Amino acid sequence: MRIILALIVVSMLVGCGEGDEIPHNGSAASGRTIPTVNQQPTAGPGNNQNITTSNKAIGTIATGDIHTCALFAGSMVNCWGGNARGQLGDRTNIDRDTPVTVFGIGPATAVTAGIYHACALFSNGVVQCWGYNGNGQLGSGKTINRTTPVRVSGVTTATAVAAGGLHTCALLSGGLVQCWGYNGRGQLGDGTGPVTVSNLSTIPVTVSGITTATAVAAGLSHTCVLLSGGTIQCWGDNSNGQLGDGTTTLGLTPVTVSGITNAIAIAAGFYHTCGLLSDNTVQCWGRNSTGQIGDGTTTQRLTPVQVSGMTTATSIAAGALHTCVLLSSGTVQCWGDNFYSQVGDGTQINRLTPVAVLGIETAMAIAAGGSHTCTQHADGTIQCWGDNDHGQLGDGTTTHRVTAVKLFGPRG
């Protein structure tokens, strides 16, 4: 059985206290179950399966800890993988190894996946969420798990949404940011947190001092925004330096990441953060226990450092303990934790610097989850690799994959 997260996500999350960290299989170097992996898929659904036009993704793809979601034809949201908390949104708690349509919502413009929940953004600025809600991360004003989407209270002008460990944030049209859910590490950014009685908010609260945000990223217990001037600000848990301000001091309100003035994109992992810069280089900071910073070491970094050899990046994704970039050529490189082959180089060896993902040549979007990674391609197909205990690769099996396999396609 898979040992769940730091990334260790515990399968008994429902029993965790509000102040508990969420564990994940990537952080427990000792005691992890050795996965059975296949270089190539077995006969039947998988890498050799032809994907029909109706089964192709048309937009964003998002990876949670053990589930994955994407937009398909008609901008409908489909999800697959682990579903114990209703994070697939199909009115059940049954794991799915191929995509199923999220129930009861119309065409969406974006989708995001947290550890055990997911959210969709709509063209009218409304956000709906589903799945685990023990800390109010669905934003509905309650803490009841939902197997179908519920509307986030009061959000009507959202332009982007990011789901973290036990919290969620939305970028609003005027450059403000609102967050909701667990706040025990200050990840909601409203100046409260561990000092409050409940340590959570079931409805959105406004992040203090943010007025010019253009992008938002949510990690396990921290949050970051890209500002219009190219700087980055972060708040929340900083025990591993993931706020990038040169300290390990908890941030109840946003602090500026040191030394970055030309960022164009951001990504937040469990305990690390990365920024894509305007010159197509990448800098990362925070925890580096498995090489997820990409600087050739396992040294924790309290301020940004350059990812080794990276000069043509166009998009970035941070998983639990690994990181990936999409290059201008359409290829992908990854680094960091590789216990479940989430780096995609055909091995299970941690990588301290970027290595090429085998078989990926035409990617146009990338997403990194707990211990798996997915790409969407120019022809609309999706390919995934890594941990597959719950069917999160979507290839019709629960077999771990050391290289990329194609999505099988929705069942309906």
Tell me, yes or no, whether 76 lies in a domain.
yes
Question: Nearest Cα to 63, choosing from 343, 396, 373, 341?
Answer: 373
Q: Is 55 helix (H, G, I), strand (E, B) or coil?
A: helix
User: What CA–CA distance (Å, rounded) separates 323 from 295?
Assistant: 12
Q: What is the sign, positive or negative, of the torsion defined by CA atoms of 325, 119, 241, 10?
A: negative
Contact 296, 306 (CB under 8 A): no
Q: Which domain holds residue 55?
A: 13-406
Query: Cα 383–90–268 angle (5° rounding)?
Result: 50
Which residues of 126-271 form beta strands (DSSP E)? 127-131, 146-151, 158-163, 167-172, 177-182, 200-206, 213-218, 222-227, 232-236, 251-256, 263-268
Instruction: Give a yes or no: residue 234 inside a domain.
Output: yes
Asked if residue 146 lies in contact with residue 166, where contact means CB atoms within 8 angstroms, the answer is: no
What's the number of domains the chain is made of?
Answer: 1
Tens-digit pLDDT profile for residues 347-357: 999 999 999 99
Q: At which residue do the structure tokens 């409304």 appear? A: 126
Half-sphere exposure of 388 (CA within 13 A, CB side): 29
Q: How far apart (Å, rounded) are the C-alpha atoms in residues 216 and 193?
A: 20
Report yes or no on 209 lying in a domain: yes
Structure tokens at 149: 């989407």
Task: Flag whether 146 is in a domain.
Answer: yes
Give the C-alpha separation, 141 to 139, whole Å: 6
pLDDT tens by residue, 194-252: 766 679 999 999 999 999 999 999 999 999 999 999 999 999 999 999 999 999 999 99
CATH number at residue 116: 2.130.10.30
Residue 161, token pair as written in the block: 């949404």
Instruction: Tell whether 79 is covered by a domain.
Output: yes
pLDDT digit string (tens) for the chain, length 412 residues: 333 333 323 222 323 333 334 544 433 333 344 454 444 332 222 222 222 234 455 568 999 999 999 998 788 999 999 999 999 999 999 999 999 999 999 999 999 999 999 999 999 999 999 999 999 999 999 999 999 999 999 999 999 999 999 999 999 999 999 999 999 999 999 999 876 667 999 999 999 999 999 999 999 999 999 999 999 999 999 999 999 999 999 999 999 999 999 999 999 999 999 999 999 999 999 999 999 999 999 999 999 999 999 999 999 999 999 999 999 999 999 999 999 999 999 999 999 999 999 999 999 999 999 999 999 998 889 999 999 999 999 999 999 999 999 987 654 4
Residue 322 lies in a domain: yes
| pTM of the predicted protein model | 0.88
Residue 371 is assigned to a structural domain of this protein = yes
Q: Is 269 a member of any domain?
A: yes
